[in-house]
Structure 1
Amino acid sequence: MKKSLVGALGAVCALLFTAVGTTSAVGAPPATVKAVNFAGTVALSNCSGSVIRMPGSQPGDPALVLSNGHCLETGFPGAGEVITDQPSSRTFSLLGASGSRVATLRAHKVSYATMTDTDISIYELTQTYAQIQRSYGISALTLNDRHPVAGSAIKVVSGYWKRIYSCNVDGFVYRLKEADWTWRDSVRYTSSCNTIGGTSGSPVIDTTTGKVVAVNNTGNEDGARCTENNPCEVDENGNVTIRQGINYAQETYIVVPCIGIGNKVDLNLPGCTLPKP
């Protein structure tokens, strides 16, 4: 997992990228690229995250923060453990477009968290989207409700380090195993997204849509096999592949069917496949 900050202090420098439109082959329509910055991202005490909304979320709904399950203030959830509606008063530093802190947000509860099949935490805040927009001029990032696409350009936006990594979706991993935890259908980055400790929980943004398609969570640091901080890829036949220096994320389209009216997590909704307690 990318929670550990040891050895990462040398990477504090903030790298800001302004995306511009590009033109494809002659005669083809220009490809639109969304500008990606830090607006809507948050810094946790030990990780990164973002204020997120579903495609159907309403201005008066309580805002949500997305991060990793392994970023919980209570420690790593065990294999098979699912946490719902756990009281929390955790605070988050809300960032503006340039990466400066514009406000402190506070959680009301952990709506959902797990490290089983995926690695996510969803906090419900004490403020609504409308209140955050009105007070700070910051809009939430929208989760894409579709599976990410191999080869698509992405940016991993770390609120903790105020750093943006640019790369592409290299492919998808049938099973990603790290110590006691196993994740399904994980996103594998191309090598230029060399994320470090503290980037855990960063939103992974598709630069074509500007929407969140995954949440950054781990990478193989030392070339070890299936150990903590050294995940391994396992295919449908049980074959294991180790890719030292390659990093991964967990898809977030699976969250959308599990969020109902009022931004409440409902694991019994049609199409919801998140693990249940």
Structure 2
Amino acid sequence: MRLRALVSAGIALSASVLVAAPAPAISGGTKSSAPYAFMGSLQRPDSARPDGHVCGAALIAPQWMVTAGHCVRNDEDVLVGHPHGWKVRIGSTSVSSGGELIEVDTFIKRPGDLQGNDVALLKLKTSARAQPVKLATSKPTAATPTRILGWGITCDELKPKCFPDHLREADTVVQPSTACDDVGIQQSEICVGSLDGKTGPTNMDSGGPAIVRSNDSWILAGTVSGGNTGQQPAVYSAIPAFRTWMYDAMTDRQPSLEGAVDLDGCSGSVVRANNAKPSDPALLLTNGHCVTGDRPAPKAAVANRVEKRKVTVLNRTGKPKTTAATTKLVYATMTGTDVALYQLNKTYAQLTAEGAKVFKLAAMGPREATPLDLVAGGLRKTWSCAVGGVVPELREEGYALRNAIRYTEDCRAGAGASGAPLVNPHTGAVIGIHNTTNELGRVCTASNPCEVDSQGRKTVHKARRYGQQTAGIIPCLTSGSRVDLSLPKCTLTKPTT
């Protein structure tokens, strides 16, 4: 089991939750010479310390801070609450003076087991004047230089001599995930500190930040989740895995299932180009690997094949809104991208009249950090995350896919989500479709895609999920919402003859 920091004065500090030997707060570190505007101390009346400190926290918006999920534990075991007497001191090297002292209005804990979901938000009663820290958009890789901060205890006793008033910091690195296997680590976490454990967080450093340099500023990469036994690095929650959950919690935005399509084991959506007319036969978008006939071969495509399938379009809550049927498979490929377009037996006007949502296809591809909603009609589930990066080439089972979308870790879609639209929540347009997951950590095999960089080097990331961009469909659509692969700007893979 992973070790956790003490956050309540009502629980005895036992050997099982302490580092193996006395060490300075932020073990291996030094006193910070200057304050960090975003750095905060969460202080609770039930703290074992006279200064009230229980955990670190980081200001990510004027009225919001992020900390560890176990730092907001409470007797009622609720995920959302309005605590009494909780405060945060922000922007000071001292835990007891300076900076801003602001009351906590609300805490919101990430649902799920702590291991892998150990994140919580603190909404402040008033906005802080300090400058928030920016959030990392992707997990830092092994060997990335990292700075850690905190006011953790300096020895193994609950006595004032062990409670530092001055903020401490240490420069260390991100370690390979395998270095934290002994204490348990999930895909949504990173391993930080020295391999021997001599540089890392101690008790009451929980929720404190791991920050990395981006140009001339710091960005937040992680928050302390699990301690160590003094002989290995510590586990930090990876901020990129939760950035969209945090955004949704702060804005109260929840994606709906409206317009999602259940397609017999896959997902899909009804889509149109800007120039589509209401009288055009509607188009259904899904994956090339979701077709019912033979799949397109590598370096090939199929077009105008008869395939009759039932299509169920859902409402906001996931119940059937209306139905349609495919008349033919207009186009499908798994080379370059993984898409299929079906023509339906209803027009856009008919579907709209029946209350079905029709999505617009975005003409431009997404960039890193673009938010997205994954809307899986086949599973009746939605996820919110962001673009973690664009992969120049993704290979799987003999197929090569260009400019694939790599998600941040929030989107955890499984079987049945293939073909689900990736919707930009700000525009409502489809920017891609979900298509694959590396399930077993294998290299370039079925259900185990590998990333290939511009130098041809392959990398594998178990449990990483990917989507395909759909902007390339737009140049291939002509009047009547027909696919014309001969158009000058159409780069979709052509069918073999």
Q: In which range does the TM-score fall when normalised by the shorter chain?
A: 0.7 to 0.9
Q: Name the amino acid aligned to 2:316.
A: A
Q: Which has the higher contact order (CA 8 A, sep 6+)?
A: 1
Q: What are the within-5 Å matches in structure 2 for residues 1-277 of structure 1? A: 36-134=255-353, 136-277=354-495
Please state how far the C-alpha of 1:76 moved relative to its aligned partner.
2.4
Q: Quote the Cα distance in structure 2 between the aligned partners of 1:137 and 1:33.
A: 25
Are 1:34 and 1:210, in contact at CA under 8 Å, matched by a contact in 2? Answer: no
User: 3-state DSSP class of the match of 1:65?
Assistant: strand
In structure 2, the CA distance between the partners of 1:254 and 1:34, relative to structure 1 (3 Å rule), is farther
Name stretches of at least 5 consecutive residues in structure 2 with no aligned partner.
1-127, 130-250
- 1:35 to partner: Cα distance: 6.8
C-alpha distance in structure 1 between counterparts of 2:273 and 2:437, whole Å: 27
1:118 Cα shift? 0.6
Q: Secondary structure at the match of 2:304?
A: strand
Whole-Å Cα distance in 1 between the matches of residues 307 and 422 of structure 2?
A: 25
The code of the aligned residue for 1:273 comes to T
- Residues 255, 384 of structure 2: 8 Å contact kept: no
For the aligned residues, what is the CA RMSD?
Answer: 1.7
Give the conservation status (yes or no) of the 8 Å contact 2:322–2:356.
no
Deviation, structure 1 residue 91: 1.1
Given that 1:159 and 1:202 are in contact with CA atoms closer than 8 Å, whether structure 2 keeps it comes out as yes
**What letter matches 2:324 in structure 1?**
L
Cα distance, 1:206 vs structure 2? 0.9
Q: SS of the counterpart of 2:379?
A: coil
Are the structure 2 counterparts of residues 226 and 77 from structure 1 closer, same or farther at C-alpha, using a change threshold of 3 Å? same
The answer (yes or no) to whether the contact 2:374–2:423 under 8 Å persists in 1 is yes
Quote how far apart the aligned CAs of 1:210 are.
Answer: 1.1
| TM-fit CA distance, 1:139 | 2.8
| Distance in 1 (alpha carbons) for counterparts of 2:366 and 2:302 | 26
TM-score (norm 1): 0.86
Q: Distance in 1 between matches of 2:402 and 2:387?
A: 16
Larger Rg: 2
8 Å contact from structure 2 (residues 322, 355) kept in 1: no
Q: 1:241 is matched by which residue type in structure 2?
A: T
Contact conserved, 1:34 with 1:209, CA < 8 A, in 2?
no
- Paired residues in the alignment total 247
Aligned residues of 2:473 and 2:490 also touching (Cα < 8 A): yes
Residue type at the aligned position of 1:276: K
Cα deviation for residue 81 of structure 1 reads 2.1
- Secondary structure of 1:111's aligned partner: strand
The Cα of 1:39 is off from its aligned counterpart by 1.8
CA displacement 1:192-217 (0-9 Å, x = unmatched): 11110110000001111111000100
- The residue identity in structure 2 corresponding to 1:92 is V
Distance across 2 between alignment mates of 1:208 and 1:139: 16
**What SS does the corresponding residue of 1:70 show, helix, strand or coil?**
helix
Which amino acid is 1:176 matched to?
L
Q: Shift in Å at residue 96 of structure 1?
A: 1.1
1:34 Cα deviation after fit: 8.3
**CA deviation profile, 1:56-79 (whole Å, cap 9, x unmatched):** 111111001000000001142211
For 2:419 and 2:378, the matched residues in 1 are separated by 10
1:103 shift after superposition: 2.1
The CA distance in 1 between the partners of 2:314 and 2:346, in whole Å, is 16
